[in-house]
Amino acid sequence: LRKNVEDFTGPRERSDLGFVTFDITADILNGKNGLRTIFDWNVKQLFLYLSAEYSTKNNALNQVVLWDKILLRGDNPRLFLKDMKSKYFFFDDGNGLKGNRNVTLTLSWNVVPNAGILPLVTGSGHVSVPFPDTYETTKSY
């Protein structure tokens, strides 16, 4: 699992807004069975999401879902996505993105079975994204 990102921040009202672009290379496997694909007889779909996790002065823990995708049974569980932009606005609750060196991006997924338990799995491998100390005033996005 590998991600590359560039980032900028922009002030909006009084909260930081982050912009992130990323690549995702992933192979989603069933952890229990090693190399077997995640789509076994009881998996209806996977809800994938990329979330950013970080700490700020205001809040000890922040998690923001930047992007999500639904993989239905039959879709390819290998992903090669390049230059993706976040689907959702990455607002902080305050100004904690500016100069924050420790924002971690992780890919996780919710397994939705045909019937049964709903597990949440976090992928191995995550990327740290340092945000710059200054704001960009205008950015075409």
Partner 1 sequence: GPSPRAAMDLFGDLRRMNKRQLYYQVLNFAMIVSSALMIWKGLIVITGSESPIVVVLSGSMEPAFHRGDLLFLTNFHDDPIRAGEIVVFKVEGRDIPIVHRVIKIHEKENGNIKFLTKGDNNEVDDRGLYKEGQNWLEKKDVVGRARGFLPYVGMVTIIMNDYPKFKYALLAVMGAYVLLKRES
Binding mask 92-111 for partner 1 (x = CB under 8 A): -x--------------x-x-
Q: How many residues bind partner 1 (CB under 8 A)?
A: 29
d(CA 30, CA 22): 24
Q: How far is the CB of 94 from partner 1 (least distance, A)?
A: 9
Listed residue (67, 90, 126, 127) closest to 8, CA to CA: 90
The answer to whether 120 contacts partner 1 (rule: CB under 8 A) is yes
d(CA 131, CA 104): 11
The answer to whether 35 contacts partner 1 (rule: CB under 8 A) is no
Radius of gyration for the chain, computed over Cα atoms and rounded to the nearest angstrom: 17
Query: Alpha carbon of 40 to those of 10, 76, 82, 129, 130: distances in Å?
Result: 44, 13, 27, 34, 38
Q: How far is the CB of 71 from partner 1 (least distance, A)?
A: 11
Which amino acid would we find at residue 32? K
The answer to whether 131 contacts partner 1 (rule: CB under 8 A) is no
**Phi–psi pair at 96, nearest 5 degrees:** -90, 0
Task: By CB under 8 A, name the one of 4, 42, 63, 102 that touches partner 1.
Answer: 63
The residue range among 28-36, 49-57, 77-85, 130-138 that interacts with partner 1, by the rule CB under 8 A, is 49-57
> Residue numbers of the site for partner 1 (CB under 8 A)?
44-45, 47, 49, 51, 53, 58-65, 68, 70, 72, 88, 93, 108, 110, 112-118, 120
